[in-house]
C-alpha cells in the first residue's frame, strides 16, 4: 500500500507545471505560446531570462527529489529501513511520467530532464553527477540544451549498469532497466529536437531578447 501511495504522490507532484505557473505569475505569459511552446527550464529561460529559467529547474528538479524522499520514508515505515534502489527509481519514474504527461495539462507536459536529474540525485547521487557532468560538458562545447540532454540520456543507461557494480561488485538490474526505459521515453520526447539536429536547424540557448516564435528548445 505504501508503494501505491508513493507512486500516486510522485505522479501528482510530477504533474505540477511549475514552468507554466512561473510564466503566468512572474512573466505574465503562457510559455506554451512562446518560443518552443514547452513548459521546461530552457523555454522559460528563453522567454523570461536566467532567473525564471533557474527557478523552473529548481522546482522541477525538487519535485522529483521530494517524491523519492517521501517514498523512502513511507516505505521504510512499512518494510525495510532502506528501500531498494530500483523501488525508489520507480517512484522517480512516476514523477517524470507526471511531468511529461501531466494530468493537469491534458497529458501534454515537459521533456523531463530536470526531473530525471532530481530523481537520480535522490536515488543514487553518483549517477546524478555523471548525468549533470555530461550535460554541462556538452553544453559548454555546443551551447545546445537539447543536444546536451540527448547525449546525457544516452550515457545514463550504461552508467547505471556499470557504476553501481564498480562500488558494490554487482550490477543493479532493476535500476538500470528503469533508467533504460526512462531514457527511451525522454529521447522520444525530444524527437522534434532530434529532427532539427539532423537538419542543422536546432538553436542555441539565448536570452529572451532574441526569442521568436520560430525558436526551438527542449
Closest C-alpha to 150, from 97, 178, 189, 92 = 189
**Measured between alpha carbons, how far is residue 2 from residues 28, 137, 139 in Å?**
39, 39, 39
**Among 71, 76, 125, 126, which Cα is nearest to 93's?**
71
Residue 213 in domain = no
Predicted pLDDT of residue 174? 87
> Among 74, 66, 75, which residue's Cα sits nearest to residue 94?
66
pLDDT at 164: 72
Is 157 part of a structural domain of the chain?
yes
Asked if residue 215 is part of any domain, the answer here is: no
The pLDDT value given to residue 212: 39
The pTM (predicted TM-score) of the whole model is: 0.89
Q: What count of other Cβ atoms lies within 10 Å of the Cβ of residue 30?
A: 13
Task: List the chain residues with pLDDT less than 50.
Answer: 209-218
Structural domain includes residue 116 = yes
Rounded CA separation 97/108 (Å): 11
**pLDDT given at position 146:** 92
The DSSP line for 80-139 is -SS--HHHHHHHHHHHHHHHHS-GGGTT-----HHHHHHHHHHH-HHHHHHHHHHHHHHH
pLDDT score of 168: 58
CA atoms within 13 A on the CB side of 32: 9
Q: Which domain holds residue 29?
A: 2-205
Sign of the alpha-carbon dihedral angle for 195, 200, 202, 204: positive
**Total count of domains within the chain:** 1
- Residue 218 counted as domain residue: no
pLDDT in tens, 39-64: 999 999 999 999 999 999 999 999 99
Taking the CB of residue 149, how many other CB atoms lie within 10 A of it?
A: 29
Number of residues in the chain: 218
Contacts of 53 (CB under 8 A, 6+ apart): 41, 42, 44, 45, 46
Amino acid at each position: 500500500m505504501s508503494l501505491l501511495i508513493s507512486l500516486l504522490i510522485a505522479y501528482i507532484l510530477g504533474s505540477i507545471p511549475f514552468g507554466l505557473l512561473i510564466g503566468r505569475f512572474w512573466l505574465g505569459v503562457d510559455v506554451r505560446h512562446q518560443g518552443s511552446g514547452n513548459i521546461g527550464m530552457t523555454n522559460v529561460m528563453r522567454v523570461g531570462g536566467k532567473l525564471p529559467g533557474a527557478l523552473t529547474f529548481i522546482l522541477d528538479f525538487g519535485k522529483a527529489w521530494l517524491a523519492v524522499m517521501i517514498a523512502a520514508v513511507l516505505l521504510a515505515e512499512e518494510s525495510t529501513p532502506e528501500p531498494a534502489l530500483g523501488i525508489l527509481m520507480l517512484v522517480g519514474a512516476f514523477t517524470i511520467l507526471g511531468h511529461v504527461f501531466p494530468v493537469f495539462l491534458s497529458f501534454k507536459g515537459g521533456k523531463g530532464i530536470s526531473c530525471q536529474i532530481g530523481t537520480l540525485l535522490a536515488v543514487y547521487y553518483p549517477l546524478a553527477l555523471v548525468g549533470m557532468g555530461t550535460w554541462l560538458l556538452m553544453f559548454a562545447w555546443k551551447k545546445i540544451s537539447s543536444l546536451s540532454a540527448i547525449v546525457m540520456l544516452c550515457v545514463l543507461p550504461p552508467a547505471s549498469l556499470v557504476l553501481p557494480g564498480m562500488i558494490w561488485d554487482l550490477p543493479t538490474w532493476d535500476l538500470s532497466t528503469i533508467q533504460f526505459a526512462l531514457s527511451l521515453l525522454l529521447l522520444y520526447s525530444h524527437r522534434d529536437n532530434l529532427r532539427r539536429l539532423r537538419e542543422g536547424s536546432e538553436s542555441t540557448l539565448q536570452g529572451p531578447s532574441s526569442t521568436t516564435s520560430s525558436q526551438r528548445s527542449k
